[in-house]
Amino acid sequence: MGRDPLDIRVQKALQHPDFISRELCSRSLHEFIQEFWSEYTSEAFIDNWHIEKVFCPELEKLAIEVSQALPSTYDLIINVPPGTTKTATVSVFFPIWCWLKWPWMRFITASYSAALSLESAEYSRDLIRSERFKRLFPEFDIKQDKDAKSNFKIIKEGPVGIWRPYGSRYSTSVGGTLTGFHGHIKIVDDPLDPQRAMSDVEIPKANNWMTNTLSTRSVDKRTSRTILIQQRLHEKDPTGDALAKRADMVRHICLPGEIRSKDEKGRNKLTPPELAKYYKDDLLDPVRMPWEVMKKMERVLGQYGYAGQVLQSPTPPAGGMFKVAKIQFIDPSHEYLKPHMIRSKIRYWDKAGTEREKPKKGQAATAGVLMYLIDTGGFGLRFLIMDVKRGWWSSEERESVIRKTAEADGRDVLVFHEQEPGSGGKESAEQTTRRLVGFAAGADRPTGDKIYRADPFSVSVNNGDVLLLRAEWNEEYVEELRHFPFSSTRDQVDASSGAYTKLVGPREAGVW
């Protein structure tokens, strides 16, 4: 009479302490991540409900259906803020966990850059080679003659000591070649670069690649699945494109970083809405992303960036972007102008080259904004706009004004000027820099349109952190902000945005 399989497993567990860990890892992706986290990074694993209750169950369910060759009824889309362990879970640990159960599975993985995609693949490959993994799963290895970061294969030892080739992982960038490669599961982790997400070129390129290239690279079109995990960056990004064209074929999970925003953008985007019960203090992850971190992210990312990357609601800014009633006016005698409170000074120029005595409505002008970063001590940082120079000058006259203004400002003021695209813009920028010899000056090549660039600055205005020195230029300046982005001119806003960015640093997405 044969022995009970349960008795056999108990006996193995008593004889081999690692047997329990091996069993738990094979059964649960969440357990696997915790077991091998230290092989991935020296940073401590910070768990949160979205990893255990959303990421892992959704990925496990999809993989099981693929393993059973069930007809594909949906692709999985997960929208989540940066810094939530999404890449580690989906792009590093998940393929390996699948191989433990179904070593034949083939994966295609992609990100907006080849470097990021290859980095995740390298983490996976290094984990398989780690001593701990080899101790728990000695039957697995990487095929020696198929061992590139961009394309490696898994081998598994058979019952008679024969190593057989099984699954594979091919990594590329969004827009990259996939000729000759097919996957049972295709993973796209952040298909757009946050710094280029407003580009009229990058978004259609990513959507076209996912629709017309990646979709054709299935081992079996009836059963293969695609996983897209990303922070929202634009209404028409790959998530928006998929939901607009084939919402009935998508399982959509949307986890805003917080659900307390005044306009309820975050709460309205939470999908499915019953997940709200897991939010603590209206936060997705109160340990890694508490309210003080949220406020910092809003300041750095701006209204639009915060709405997209954190709230998963990338709605373009509309009129009333600047709440000008929040601006405080001060006099030259104000205590904020005491030398010990001024951290840094920047004059930023938005250049135009049109000479007109009576400019037409909407005619681009040259504008130079002088902005101070003020440390108020217990009341935090403030941004003081000290002066605005604006005019419709010829190129030669403009360069003379920029030089004379630098001389009047003093050598403790950093001078930046915007470099327009193309060879003409480069030559003009080089000329301006040469004319500013003796001053700390340089050209700046901002990304995105004027609305995108103004977004972080608008957050500080709306929080009451922007001050204006009383002067005759105030009214014209405030009116441009009041009606932006529908104001007839935008040069003062653009120069202010440039100065602000230089004072606080560029907006970034990433781990916070």
The reply to whether 141 falls in a domain is: yes
Residues 348 and 246 in one domain: no
Give the neighbor-by-neighbor strand order of the sheet with 366-375. Answer: 328-330, 466-469, 381-391, 366-375, 342-350, 414-418, 441-444
The reply to whether 38 falls in a domain is: no
What integer pLDDT is reported at residue 353 of this predicted model?
Answer: 63
What integer pLDDT is reported at residue 509 of this predicted model?
Answer: 46
Structure tokens at 384: 């003081």
> CATH number, domain at 209?
3.40.50
Structure tokens at 135: 């101790």
As a whole number of angstroms, the distance between CA 454 and CA 450 comes to: 6
The reply to whether 160 falls in a domain is: yes
Residues 329 and 243 in one domain: no
Instruction: Using the 3D structure, point to which of 255, 282, 306 is the last residue of a domain.
Output: 255
Residues 168 and 248 in one domain: yes
Q: Pairing state of beta strands 140-148 and 151-157? A: antiparallel
The reply to whether 288 falls in a domain is: no
> CATH number, domain at 458?
3.30.420.280
Give the neighbor-by-neighbor strand order of the sheet with 185-189. Answer: 140-148, 151-157, 163-173, 106-111, 185-189, 225-230, 75-79, 250-254
Residues 333 and 198 in one domain: no
H helical segments located in 386-449: 395-409, 422-435
Residues 366 and 245 in one domain: no
Domain containing residue 412: 324-504
As a whole number of angstroms, the distance between CA 419 and CA 435 comes to: 15
Structure tokens at 9: 């497993």
The residues that bridge with 347 in the sheet, in sequence order, are 370, 415
Residues 229 and 103 in one domain: yes
* 260 contacts: CB under 8 Å, gap ≥ 6: 266, 267, 282
What are the distances in angstroms from CA 438 to CA 309, 389, 395?
Answer: 41, 21, 21
Q: Are 219 and 44 in contact (CB under 8 A)?
A: no
The reply to whether 18 falls in a domain is: no
Low-confidence spans in the chain with pLDDT less than 70: 1-16, 160-161, 316-320, 353-362, 506-512
The residues that bridge with 173 in the sheet, in sequence order, are 111
The reply to whether 130 falls in a domain is: yes
Length of the chain: 512
Residues 223 and 362 in one domain: no
Name the residue with tokens 């997209």: 308
183 class by beta-carbon count within 10 Å (0-12 exposed, 13-18 middle, 19+ buried): buried
What integer pLDDT is reported at residue 409 of this predicted model?
Answer: 96
The reply to whether 15 falls in a domain is: no
The reply to whether 460 falls in a domain is: yes
Residues 150 and 72 in one domain: yes
Residues 197 and 94 in one domain: yes
Residues 224 and 328 in one domain: no
Three-state SS for 502?
A: helix
As a whole number of angstroms, the distance between CA 383 and CA 385 comes to: 7
Residues 333 and 480 in one domain: yes
Structure tokens at 270: 């939470």
> DSSP secondary structure string, 330-389?
E-TT-GGGSGGGEEEEEEEEE------SSPPTT---EEEEEEEEEE-STT-EEEEEEEEE
Residues 67 and 185 in one domain: yes
Q: How many CB atoms lie within 10 A of CB 371?
A: 27
Instruction: Give the number of C-alpha atoms closer than 13 A to the C-alpha of residue 84, restricted to the C-beta side.
Output: 32
Region of 510 on the Ramachandran plot (φ > 0 left; ψ -120 to 50 alpha; else beta): left
Instruction: Using the 3D structure, point to which of 225, 255, 285 is the last residue of a domain.
Output: 255
Per the structure, the count of domains in the chain is 2
What integer pLDDT is reported at residue 300 of this predicted model?
Answer: 81
Instruction: Using the 3D structure, point to which of 207, 232, 255 is the last residue of a domain.
Output: 255
What integer pLDDT is reported at residue 263 of this predicted model?
Answer: 73
